[in-house]
Amino acid sequence: AARRLLVRRGPTRRLGTAPPPPPAGATLRLFGYAICPFCHVVRSAARYTKTPIALTEVNPLTKAEIKFSETHRKVPIAVFDDGSVIVESAAIVDELLKRSPPSEEFASPAARKWAAWATGELAPMVYPNITKTYGECRRALAYADEAFGPVDAFLVKHVGALGMSLAHGKIKKKYNIEDERAALFDKLATWEARIGDRPFRGGDAMDLADVAVHGVLGAVAGLLARDDV
């Protein structure tokens, strides 16, 4: 309920430690995880709107990078160049579109409906499909070698992978998933049926839903699930 209230209020500045602003030349600093589909939706929207962003990888074990956010401890979190702090992917994307207004067709009610489908139904399929085994969890967290120092990277890849592996069954149960690949393919079949013979769901040009689906699938780049997709 608190998160929904924050989204309705739009830009919200947090109390406590001041959030690090985006560097020169960037419109926003995005705090997230390399394998977070919701973070990738924001990145996809920023790419579409040609908004320069700076990425700050958050340590999933300590979350030290977002210590400035005392009440909201989930990613993505965006810090804009005017000092506003916005949480939740949908609210961040709305802010990007407000700053770089697209055509009415791009963010039509239908496009928003399917963008919500992407984050509400397709995105939950990502986690169980990249955590099927401990080895796959390790592979999903391999980005830690470049994102953190050697000690933190070791902990993220081993302790983090163990936690992800243990949570695999709980996530499947939460979303009533028996076969994670079949569930993912089912969602993709729904998406393909909606597109039909058109280049994009939006027709000849992509719309917000296309951007959202592109973002969600970006979270599995370089992983076994992406090969199957």
DSSP character at residue 55? E
* pLDDT per residue as tens digits for the range 172-211: 999 999 999 999 999 999 999 999 999 999 999 999 999 9
Residues 79, 20 contacting (CB under 8 angstroms): yes
Phi, psi of 24 (to 5 degrees): -55, 135
Residue 31 identity (one-letter amino acid)? F
* pLDDT per residue as tens digits for the range 83-116: 999 999 999 999 999 999 999 999 999 999 999 9
The three-class DSSP label of residue 31 is strand
| pTM of structure | 0.90
